Amino acid sequence: MSATERSAAPGAEDSSLDPRSVRRAMLAGSIGTLIEYYDFSVYGYLAVAIAPQFFPSDDPAASVLAALLVFATGLVVRPIGGVFFGWLGDRWGRRKALVSSVLAMGVASSITGLLPTYGQIGVTATVLLFLIRVVQGISSGGESVGAYTYIYESAPPKRRAFLGAVTPIGSNLGFMFAAATAGTISALTTEEQMAAWGWRLPFLMAIPLTLVCLWARLRIEDTPEFKKAAEQADIPTAPIRETLSTHRTALLQSIGLAMAQGGAIFLGLTYLGIYLTTDLGYDSTHVFWLSAGVVFVTVLLMVPAGWLSARFGCRRVLLAGLIGFLVTAYPAMMLMGRHSLVLAGLAYLLYMLSSAIVQVPAASLWPHLFDRRVRYTGMAIGYNIGTVLAGGTAPYIAAYLVQRTGNLLSPAWFVMTVCLIGIGTLFTVRKDV
């Protein structure tokens, strides 16, 4: 199906979309990604506090590495969740998949806050943490791509590039809220209190967040495109097989773009906080709030990024963002080591400025690569494989590079590599939103 044909698909005309339904779709999509990224990132922000509770070791660096490895494991299983929720979304409806994924994510995060530690039940605590992260990884495999798909199909075609900002705004607010929550708890507790019970509170915040998200998602209907297809019995019986047989190029393109976005952004949103506290020795409370402030600025830039995507095309804006990460990664990390928190904060912001102009156009470009019949499945498989290869593993790879090479700037070379992969992939994309 061509881009022109896609615009003529059921539900494509602006006049056929009820503005109230569009607003509900935007809210439900964004708030779901907020809870997803809050749940995942709060673990990264608290990795230093969690590590000795579940991975005790005489070597603090080894303990943190073990905690980050479990963080990465939660994303390694994302393709499994992507396959399941993609099948559910393309076969039985976007709404069912979105409600199921966020419920599983919220319950798993809440349970993390109630887990006994290694000191209480031994290695069983480590195993339970690992299993919970697996559940979170499976549920997250369908969450972001479900929101991308739902918002893309719910938005008027001429506003898809602009409204693509909604999902990244939600995900980054999740990161910001996680950093702010961790910073607040850190400021209000002593080091001993943080180790004893303070680390649990941010995870328990998932309970009210999940309830709010369920309220928003239970109020929505399926997208106009899917409802029309269901009425015409135009639903794939085997969306996974159909995706693999008819959308191989789109799958490879989505993998390459996901590697670039995930590798650059996950490193900035999860690893750099650990880098500033563990490797450079900055106060953890200050770093939590610094991270929250940087992400807040990023969120403010996403509306202009949506306007730029609508004005100049998603491909051009995404290319500019990837080049931005490519050229700022090394100097930003170098400036962070100048023993000034203010300078470190400015360097952090310099690096993350590219985040908005990568995430916003990508949110609309990904679903545009796939036809409606397999859009959820195709995105779920491609996006999650790319995220596994370079996204969720980014914090672990970065910490491993520093430990193995002794070079605190070595993670920048990882960012530059994944950005080159993304840029090369982008030149093969002929469609634009």
Q: What is the CATH number of the domain that holds 398?
A: 1.20.1250.20
Supply 111's token pair: 């349970």
Mean residue pLDDT of the chain comes to: 87
Residue 128: its pLDDT value, please?
92
Question: Which sign does the torsion angle of CA 179, 184, 186, 192 carry?
Answer: negative
- Residue 9 three-state SS: coil
Supply 204's token pair: 């328990």
Q: Residue 152: name the closest of 309, 300, 38, 264 by CA.
A: 309
pTM for this entry: 0.84
Residue 144: its pLDDT value, please?
86
Whole-number Å distance between alpha carbons of 269 and 110: 22
Taking each helix axis as running N to C, give the angle between helix 394-405 and helix 248-266, from 0 to 180 degrees, rounded to the nearest 10: 60
Judged on CB neighbours under 10 Å (0-12, 13-18, 19+), 192 is exposed
**For the chain, what is the domain count?**
1
Residue 360: its pLDDT value, please?
95
Whether pLDDT at 99 is above 80 = yes
Whether pLDDT at 109 is above 70 = yes
Q: Which residue has the higher pLDDT, 125 or 39?
A: 125
> 38 lies in which domain range?
10-426
Residue 150: its pLDDT value, please?
92
Residue 140: its pLDDT value, please?
86
Cβ neighbours around 406 below 10 Å, total: 8
Residue 12: its pLDDT value, please?
39
Instruction: Give a yes or no: residue 183 inside a domain.
Output: yes
Instruction: Give a yes or no: residue 124 inside a domain.
Output: yes
Phi/psi class of residue 364: alpha, beta or left (left: φ > 0; alpha: ψ in -120 to 50)? Answer: alpha
Taking CA atoms, 91 is separated from 95, 124, 207, in Å, by: 11, 38, 29
Instruction: Give a yes or no: residue 159 inside a domain.
Output: yes
Write the DSSP assignment of 262-309 as a string of letters: HHHHHIIIIIHHHIIIIIT---HHHHHHHHHHHHHHHHHTHHHHHHHH
Instruction: Give a yes or no: residue 2 inside a domain.
Output: no
Phi/psi class of residue 129: alpha, beta or left (left: φ > 0; alpha: ψ in -120 to 50)? Answer: alpha
* pLDDT per residue as tens digits for the range 210-243: 898 899 888 888 988 899 988 888 899 899 999 9
Instruction: Give a yes or no: residue 3 inside a domain.
Output: no
* pLDDT per residue as tens digits for the range 293-335: 998 999 999 999 999 999 999 999 999 999 999 999 999 999 9
Instruction: Give a yes or no: residue 431 inside a domain.
Output: no
Instruction: Give a yes or no: residue 433 inside a domain.
Output: no
Instruction: Give a yes or no: residue 327 inside a domain.
Output: yes
Whole-number Å distance between alpha carbons of 393 and 402: 14
Question: Which sign does the torsion angle of CA 312, 317, 323, 327 carry?
Answer: positive
* pLDDT per residue as tens digits for the range 5-26: 333 343 334 445 677 778 888 8
Whole-number Å distance between alpha carbons of 326 and 418: 9
* pLDDT per residue as tens digits for the range 349-358: 999 999 999 9
- Share above pLDDT 90 across residues of the chain, in percent, rounded to a whole number: 43
